[in-house]
Structure 1
Amino acid sequence: MDENRLAVLIDADNVPYANIKEMLEEIAKNGIPTIKRIYADWTKPTVSGWKNILLENAITPIQQYSYTSGKNSSDSALIIDAMDILYSGKVDGFCIVSSDSDFTRLAIRLREAGMTVIGFGEKKTPQPFITACDKFIYIEILKLEKEAVSTVSTTNKGKTSAKASKKIEKEIVTLITESVADIADETGWAFLGNLGSFILKKKPDFDPRNYGYPKLLPLIKSTQKFIIDERITGANNVKHIYLKLK
């Protein structure tokens, strides 16, 4: 099966460089990053931290001088490149890495052209940009996952390696409940494989990892509001999971 070809465009002025490896690993789950570019005025000391990790991650730096004080010219360069890449027809989707709402219109335009748009940014990212993406992933999640792995590897210090789950907000429980009802068949059963993507259409920044769960199913089970049915299919005994409201 062919994987989606992705253009990864990074706004160096508006995201931290510390978790770039985790970001690229997350992007790889969604497709093949065939284009990787990062935009900044590289003469500024504020982006010096990026320079050391560009080569090892095969990211192409794009120089954009700041001609006017207070204006982010890197935004314009990224947007122009995105449209050039769109018209080249060489990719199936875009990953826009930024916490800046200036890319809201770009995300909308790319989706209008049939592109999948995945956003990456900090939790301070304005809601309009998040909503404009098909899917939005918080960088803080990747940081927490990295810390959790580190904790597991230091059990010799006597620390607990269990990651405590956050309390599930009532809003999220309602979102899941309503989404199950929306896609359920006439008997009330909904296929888990369709549920995750359906929820993302309503809430692009939905991610079980925000609540301490690695996948959607453990999160759903924690609510204790659903009946879970694992059905074995004829293909190598693969299980399909269905759920319905109790």
Structure 2
Amino acid sequence: MEKDLNLAVLIDGDNIPSRYVKEMLEEIAKYGNPSIKRIYGDWTKPSLVKWKDVLLKNAITPVQQYGYTTGKNATDSAMIIDAMDILYSGKVNGFSLVSSDSDFTRLAIRLREAGMTVFGIGERKTPDPFIVSCDKFIYLEILHKSTTDEFQTIKKAKIDPVDKITQQVIHLILATISDLEDEDGWAFLGEVGALLQKKQPNFDARNFGFRKLTPLVKSINQIQIETRKNPKGNGNLIYVKSLV
């Protein structure tokens, strides 16, 4: 994915906890320049008070949206309308939709149909339809640096903060290597990672407790790894081969 993308970051304030904002913006900066940053919500609600403390520090523009009708989410509507206005303005070539709400599924699909790169960011509870409608989906939980109190809560509740590498995950990686392998069975790991992302937008080595894809692959016995000198420059290239 291009790193010089101009991104519109649109945050569903009713749906995302404010404690994630710092790590979330740091993550977004890896993929492009967040030239537009807006957060939507009814700022008369006490539940959004914590957000007010971080908006100025992070140059996020709050957009007031009153709930006109009981049972309807006016915040979602305002965010969708703004997204379409930004799309037609021609000022960005990518969007970061920050929400765990499946109501933004159609928006993500429409933006991608218009040639936009769409990054989704939300909690693990995010429904699959929204996840797969994005080019890449990132879980907030893997970005947030837990405090000691939060770690103790996780430990007491016996909740594993990372996913286990299941046979299904291993099969996905092996199948992807097979899709890209040359006549000798080798595939460039960079291309494997890119294809994994296309197949499963929420695939991320950090979900399994690894910082990068390389150490994740090294932990799988069915995969052989070979380091080769880069013929076009400095550094090395990692190639992988299925042993199954």
1:32-76 C-alpha deviation (Å, 9 max, x unpaired): 100000000111111111001000000000001110112110101
Between the two proteins, the alignment pairs up a number of residues equal to 231
How far the C-alpha of 1:2 sits from its partner, in A, is 6.7
1:103 aligns with 2:94: no
- Shift in CA distance, 220/35, structure 1 to aligned 2, threshold 3 Å: same
Distance in 1 of aligned mates of 2:163 and 2:60: 35
Moved more, 165-174 or 220-229: 165-174
Alignment match of 2:191 (pick from 191, 194, 204): 194
Asked whether the 8 Å contact 2:162–2:207 carries over to 1, the reply is: no
- Shift in CA distance, 179/16, structure 1 to aligned 2, threshold 3 Å: same
Distance in 2 of aligned mates of 1:137 and 1:129: 12
Distance in 2 of aligned mates of 1:113 and 1:27: 21
Identity of counterpart residues, as a percentage?
61
Asked whether the 8 Å contact 1:165–1:213 carries over to 2, the reply is: no
Asked whether the 8 Å contact 1:134–1:204 carries over to 2, the reply is: yes
Distance in 1 of aligned mates of 2:115 and 2:166: 33
1:244 aligns with 2:241: yes
In structure 2, the partner of 1:228 is: 225
SS in 2 for 1:56: coil
TM-score for both structures, normalised by structure 1: 0.90
Distance in 2 of aligned mates of 1:178 and 1:96: 30
SS in 1 for 2:19: coil
SS in 2 for 1:69: coil
TM-score for both structures, normalised by structure 2: 0.90
Moved more, 190-199 or 95-104: 190-199
In structure 1, the partner of 2:77 is: 76
In structure 2, the partner of 1:161 is: none
1:217 aligns with 2:214: yes
Where does structure 2 lack aligned partners over 5 or more consecutive residues? 149-160
1:168-224 C-alpha deviation (Å, 9 max, x unpaired): 111110110000101112221111111111001111111111111000010101011
Distance in 1 of aligned mates of 2:191 and 2:220: 19
